């Protein structure tokens, strides 16, 4: 199949599909087929048609949602700022837009496949070439370039010279680039005027590089291993590699300035000290129904969530939507939901959890992760749902990333046994369609002591304190089903395999430390963060601000997560960040 030619729109518009004619399963199928559409780069043809004049009212924003991941957050941010949304249903809707936002999520080739098959690619080229107000987000920026190396080379829209390539992880930088990083403003960008020296949120594995050929477009860069293009601007056309809808108040200011260029900030932008990728502080909410059927936030003690009382009731620490909103206000860099009954229940039948995501994303403009029970299912009526369909519903409900636990362990075990990537595991399916940056693998290991490193086939560590029988070594056994079942695979071996299968991030728990408040398991976190080139989130055991600085100073963890100390208000998030800043560790403020 040839690449997109930004040529006469009218030649194919009448034959193109509209988004409204595509079911979610059809969109998923189109995106799954992207690996068959490897293209060779060629010079784009010049557009010769001028777009029709816009007809939308001043309070309406046209949104190009091609069925990707979490676009709900962009919708919520637009509505939060007081604007209505009109969805693109046909290519003509693009040409008639007054202001067009294109939030691209997922893989480059699959996005181009959908845009081409629906006739949207040619309309986009026409719209942008005519200098109409446009904002591309993340993949919406990358698609403007000549081509991408992601499963390619694959042709892009060809509007900006350059090739989108993968970050280089050989020099010690984690890929994907996930987290809050700083911008270096290259020229007057207009929409970035309120940012100041503050962090914005990135999540991507591929980036475009500045060059002499595209320097007229570049409005800001970001440094991660090298300087890459963080935003572009030419006339009314803007695009950003970061996610403004996930960058808190700073990101909302970017959207506000695009939607209303004449607006001025209500106050002088807060000046920060952003200079590089910040360490993230993540609030985690374990969510489940209590004995009365209400959805509550709970917290376990070594994974036991019931009070040690006569009633033995589920520990109730608050309502999930309210707590998530509070943590956003307190400065949490991400909010993670774990549906801890998901391994038993059919997740698409868990409407309360989907509602939690939908309501939370209305007012929480930082990344949301959800986990629990994301795997293939067959419901009571015999209807089969793939893990990809389950994950897609979570994405559409407001999740930015999904977390896979037990199912990732089973996939890793199978791969170790067969050495074959089947492409059928939940990890492989979801990362192929939505990109590995959207997939977190949650690991639940426990320490097993042994006399020597040759006693087991798994990677061991020398322990600082001897085990109960004087053992000097230990390995970390992975568990499934909420820590109830041990498996014959170590955390080290699992981490190496899931990275190869497509995981973009590892959430590293520790059953031994969970709920103890004595600090993270530094030995475990160092073992895993040194073994992989993807980001690692430290979890389990935080009880004081010093535990956060310790894990960042002694390991290569990219983020640290806590639950109980935040829920019980023992350690406020701002206290953690103030301590980290004092210790010279960069965080978002």
Residues 6+ apart with CB under 8 A from 366: 201, 246, 247, 248, 328, 332, 333, 334, 335
| 245 belongs to the catalytic site | yes
What DSSP element (H or E) covers 537?
strand 536-538
Q: How far apart are CA 585 and CA 154, in angstroms?
A: 39
Q: DSSP class of residue 314?
A: B
Q: Is 171 annotated as a binding residue?
A: no
Q: Which of 286, 493, 505, 586 does the annotation list as catalytic?
A: 286
Q: Is 136 annotated as a binding residue?
A: no
Rounded to 5 degrees, φ, ψ at 178 are -125, 125
DSSP per position, 151-162: TS-EE---SEEE
| 243 belongs to the catalytic site | yes
Q: Is 138 annotated as a binding residue?
A: yes
Q: Would you tell me how many other CB atoms lie within 10 Å of the CB of residue 469?
A: 7
Q: Which of 86, 93, 125, 138 does the annotation list as catalytic?
A: 138
Q: Which of 177, 199, 204, 243 does the annotation list as catalytic?
A: 243
Q: How far apart are CA 588 and CA 469, in angstroms?
A: 45
Structural contact between residues 39 and 2, judged by C-beta atoms closer than 8 angstroms: yes
| 138 belongs to the catalytic site | yes
Rounded to 5 degrees, φ, ψ at 101 are -115, 130
C-alpha R_g of the chain: 24
Report residue 96 CA to chain centroid gap: 32
Q: Which of 444, 505, 521, 523 does the annotation list as catalytic?
A: 444
Q: Among all chains, which residue has been given the structure tokens 């993949």?
A: 139
Helices (H) and strands (E) in the chain, counts: 17, 29
Q: Which of 146, 245, 333, 521 does the annotation list as catalytic?
A: 245
Q: How far apart are CA 375 and CA 30, in angstroms?
A: 21
Q: DSSP class of residue 301?
A: B
**Active centre residues (catalytic):** 138, 243, 245, 286, 444
Binding-site positions for L-glutamine: 138
Q: Which residues are annotated as a binding site?
A: 138, 373, 509
For the annotated binding site for substrate, the residues are 373, 509
């Amino acid at each position: 199949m040839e690449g997109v030619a930004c040529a006469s729109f009218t030649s194919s518009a009448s034959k193109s599909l509209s988004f409204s004619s595509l079911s979610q399963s059809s969109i998923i199928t189109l995106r799954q087929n992207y690996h068959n559409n490897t293209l060779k780069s060629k010079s784009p043809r010049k557009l010769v048609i001028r777009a029709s004049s816009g007809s939308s009212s001043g309070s309406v924003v046209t949104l190009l949602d091609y069925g990707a991941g979490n676009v709900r957050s962009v919708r919520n941010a637009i509505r939060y700022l007081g604007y209505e949304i009109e969805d693109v249903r046909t290519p003509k809707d693009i040409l008639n837009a007054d202001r067009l936002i294109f939030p691209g999520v997922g893989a480059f080739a699959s996005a181009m496949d959908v845009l081409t098959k629906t006739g949207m690619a040619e309309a986009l080229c026409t719209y942008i070439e005519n200098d109409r107000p446009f904002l591309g987000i993340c993949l919406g920026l990358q698609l403007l370039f000549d081509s991408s190396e992601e499963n390619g080379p694959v042709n892009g829209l060809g509007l900006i010279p350059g090739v989108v390539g993968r970050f280089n992880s050989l020099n010690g930088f984690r890929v994907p680039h996930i987290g809050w990083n700083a911008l270096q403003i290259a020229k007057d960008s207009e929409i970035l005027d309120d940012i100041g020296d503050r962090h914005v949120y990135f999540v991507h594995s591929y980036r475009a590089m500045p060059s002499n050929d595209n320097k007229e477009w570049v409005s800001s860069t970001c440094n991660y291993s090298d300087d890459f293009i963080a935003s572009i601007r030419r006339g009314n056309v803007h695009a950003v590699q970061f996610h403004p809808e996930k960058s808190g108040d700073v990101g909302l200011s970017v959207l506000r300035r695009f939607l209303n260029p004449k607006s001025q900030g209500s106050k002088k932008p807060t000046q920060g000290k952003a200079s590089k990728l910040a360490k993230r502080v993540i609030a985690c909410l374990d969510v489940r129904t209590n004995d009365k059927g209400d959805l509550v936030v709970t917290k376990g003690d070594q994974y036991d969530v019931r009070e040690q009382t006569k009633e033995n009731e589920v520990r109730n620490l608050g309502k999930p939507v309210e707590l998530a909103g509070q943590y956003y206000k307190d400065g949490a860099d991400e909010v993670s939901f774990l549906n801890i009954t998901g391994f038993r229940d059919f997740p698409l039948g868990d409407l309360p959890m989907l509602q939690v995501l939908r309501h939370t994303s209305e007012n929480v403009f930082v990344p949301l992760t959800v986990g629990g029970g994301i795997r293939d299912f067959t419901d009571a009526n015999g209807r089969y749902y793939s893990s990809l369909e389950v994950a897609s519903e979570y994405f559409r409900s407001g999740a930015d990333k999904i977390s896979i636990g037990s199912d990732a362990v089973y996939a890793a075990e199978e791969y170790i046994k067969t050495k074959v990537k089947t492409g059928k595991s939940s990890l492989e399916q979801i990362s192929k369609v939505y990109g590995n940056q959207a997939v977190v693998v949650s690991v639940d290991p426990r320490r097993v002591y042994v006399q020597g490193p040759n006693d087991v086939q798994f990677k061991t560590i020398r322990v600082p304190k001897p085990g109960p029988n004087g053992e000097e070594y230990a390995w970390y056994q992975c568990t499934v089903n909420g820590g109830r079942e041990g498996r014959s695979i170590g955390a080290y071996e699992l981490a190496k395999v899931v990275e190869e299968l497509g995981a973009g991030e590892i959430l590293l728990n520790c059953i031994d430390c969970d709920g103890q408040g004595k600090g993270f398991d530094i030995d475990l976190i160092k073992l895993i963060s040194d073994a992989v080139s993807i980001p690692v989130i430290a979890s389990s055991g935080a009880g004081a601000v010093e535990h956060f600085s310790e894990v960042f100073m002694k390991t290569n963890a990219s983020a640290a997560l806590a639950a109980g100390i935040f829920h019980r208000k023992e350690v406020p998030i701002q206290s953690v960040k103030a301590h980290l800043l004092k210790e010279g560790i960069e965080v978002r403020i």
